[in-house]
Structures are given as C-alpha cells and as structure tokens.
Amino acid sequence: MTDKELILNFISQYDRLFNAELISKLTSVNIEVTEKLLPELLQSQAIKQIEDCPPIYVRANRYQARIGYQHYKGWTFSIADAHRLLDILEQGRYKSIREIAQVICKSRQWVYIYLEALASIEVVDLRQHIYVVISRHCILDRLHSIKTHRGTYYRQSYQ
C-alpha cells in the first residue's frame, strides 16, 4: 500500500478533525510526505481545510444526507421500502405480521415498525383483520410527522 493510499484510507474512515501531524501518527507515514500530499487531497476535494493557522482538515462530504427517517436506535425509515411494503399489501390479503415478513423477507419487528409508522399517517389500516392500503398520496408530505404510540418521532438522518 502506498503512502497516498494509506492516507486516503485513513481519511475515508476518520470522522473528526485532523492535521498533518495526526495523520502521520496514526498512519506511520512520514510527516513531510503527509504535508506534500495534503494540497493534492485538497485539490481533489477529498478533504476540506476548515482552519488556516494551524491547518486543520476534515473529510469532504462527511455529513451527506440520506433520504430516510430515523427509527429506533439507528433504524432508518426508507421511502422505497415503504412503497415496497405497500405493494405487497395491495397484492394480497395479509392477516398477520408474520405472513408479511415472510413475503417481504424482513423481520417481524421491521414489518411492525413500518406498519405502525404508516398507520400513524393514515396510509395503512387494519380492517376486518386484514391489512389494507388506504391511500398512497401525500406519503412524502406526511413522513415528517410520523409518530408511534411510544411517542417516537422520525426525523431525517444525516450520515
């Protein structure tokens, strides 16, 4: 592995502020080599310089937004997965979460959380012991206000 590859690997995994000295310490690359590579990394937009004196850097795009909404402890509510669940519900007559989980190849907990979230914005309902899709329109508008019976709000996540 070359020095440049080693430094790029470090940068891709390190989410905190860093300088040339820290890169050298953590990668065992000579500090002169590190200081020569930093302008090249700045020009290629792999890193951003956020302080001039002393020079402090961060990885570029370290907080890219993902389209999704936070669930319990790291789960992310995906719009695409919600539509896939709605497609499955429209195709069959499902009475249990276990049946839906087997068809969609997800855990029962995942199905429960998605059904709970979709029911809270009046997209899905349980009628005569069968899960039905009430309406698909406005799903994007209503996602910001999804609330479970436990009081957990789902917010857009950044990572």
Tell me, what's the pLDDT at 64? 54
Same domain, 132 and 76: yes
- Number of domains within the chain: 2
Burial class (CB in 10 A: 0-12, 13-18, 19+), 124: buried
For residue 70, the enclosing domain spans 65-158
pTM of the full structure: 0.47
Residues of the chain with pLDDT under 70: 63-76, 138-159
Boundary of a domain, candidates 40, 59, 78: 59
Can the peptide bond before residue 54 be classed as cis, meaning omega within 30 degrees of 0?
yes
Enter the DSSP assignment of 94.
-
Enter the DSSP assignment of 93.
-
Q: What is the pLDDT of residues 34-65, one digit of tens each?
A: 999 999 999 998 888 888 888 899 888 776 54
Boundary of a domain, candidates 59, 83, 104: 59
Tell me, what's the pLDDT at 113? 87
Alpha helices in 3-96 (DSSP H): 3-13, 20-27, 31-43, 79-91
C-alpha angle 142-145-146 in degrees, rounded to nearest 5 = 90
Q: What is the CATH number of the domain that holds 10?
A: 1.10.10.10
Same domain, 33 and 71: no
Same domain, 54 and 72: no
Q: What is the CATH number of the domain that holds 120?
A: 1.10.10
